[in-house]
Amino acid sequence: MRGIVLIFIVVFAFGFNKKALLGKELFFDKDLSLNKKVSCESCHKAKYAGGDDKRVSVGIKRGYVNSLVLFNSVFNCCYFWNGRRFSLRKAIKDAFFNSYEMGMTKELLLKRVSKYKIKFIKIYGDFKEEYIYDAIYYFFKELISLNSKFDKSLRGEVNLTKSEERGYFLFKKYGCITCHNGINFGGNSFQKLGVFLDKITIPRIEDLATITKRKSDIYVYRVPILRNIAKSAPYFHDGSVKSLKKAIILMGEWNIGIKISDKDANDIEAFLKTLNGEEPKILKEGR
């Protein structure tokens, strides 16, 4: 784990890719939604690590799932709670044509984006639909939020507190790291929610079974990433849990089969807060 995290500490020494800067403009443009009232940023705010503080996302209509964070999403194995897209470009395209999110048609999207036509031609040499998703993809590639306190501790630059160090130990001891691993501490596998429950009461929304049609995939979701997790409340696919500590305790009961004590939950929460990274540099561009 330590080696993997250190390998991906990226230092951006040069200016931002022109495609990424164009993608940033598109990301913040409300004209690219049907009612011109929401942009991609409306559900994916920087202060929430590219997520949202609402229980469920609200695009042109109120949605039904909690917004997943975008920071570091380029490292994920797949996208959406049910992992229905393995391509980030295709996931971006889906959002534009989703009836709850941006609600666009291909014709309307091209018409609204045409005001950027000269920029597209200068950068891509042409103006095509696929370049819209590509530009936003390059913007997402710049939404890297690393260099957290935990990262710095791995490099020997800072020391974790006793509570944070103990929380990291418990995170591994209890087996949380089995699912929440890799550079993002998650985002690279699917797991069933409520492994140790006979009956789960949380709503079943957009699970893997909606894609595969297999009963074994009911309540199976892509494992959320834990980087910046303290910034992205509420939690779970339906946004039903407001507190990170409560989410830790529930996951202990539901997916590990143990009752995590109050002290242990506090220490694990302290460790998870050390995963808060820096704001991506591209978001500061132009301020």
Q: Is 241 helix (H, G, I), strand (E, B) or coil?
A: strand
CA dist 74 and 224 (Å) reads 13
Alpha helices in the chain (DSSP H): 2-7, 18-27, 88-97, 106-113, 117-124, 129-141, 149-154, 162-173, 176-179, 209-212, 244-251, 262-273
What is the residue type of 137? Y
Domains of the chain in start order, with CATH, are 2-145+279-283 (1.10.760.10), 149-273 (1.10.760.10)
Cβ atoms of 6 and 15 closer than 8 Å:
no
> Tokens representing 228?
């910046």
Beta-bridged to residue 222, according to DSSP, are: 190
pTM over 0.95: no
CA distance 230 to 48: 9
231 CB-near residues (< 8 Å, 6+ apart): 47, 48, 49, 51, 276
Please confirm whether the linkage preceding 224 is cis (ω < 30° from 0).
no
Vertex 49: Cα angle to 48 and 52 (nearest 5)? 40
Q: Can you tell me the distance from the alpha carbon of 7 to that of 62, in angstroms, rounded to the nearest whole number?
A: 40
* Amino acid symbol at 233: A
Which of helix, strand or coil describes residue 205? coil
Contact 252, 259 (CB under 8 A): yes
| Number of Cβ within a 10 Å radius of residue 117 | 12
Residue of 210, 214, 247, 207 whose CA lies nearest to 229: 247
Compute the C-alpha angle 280/28/112, nearest 5°.
145
> Please, which residues bridge with residue 249 across strands?
none
Cα 211 to Cα 85, 92, 98, 150, 190: the distances in Å are 10, 18, 16, 36, 13
Per-residue pLDDT of the chain (287 residues; tens, 9 = 90+): 555 444 444 434 346 899 999 999 999 999 999 999 999 999 999 999 999 999 999 999 999 999 999 999 999 999 999 999 999 999 999 999 999 999 999 999 999 999 999 999 999 999 999 999 999 999 999 999 999 999 999 999 999 999 999 999 999 999 999 999 999 999 999 999 999 999 999 999 999 999 999 999 999 999 999 999 999 999 999 999 999 999 999 999 999 999 999 999 999 999 999 999 999 999 987 65
pLDDT value of residue 234: 98
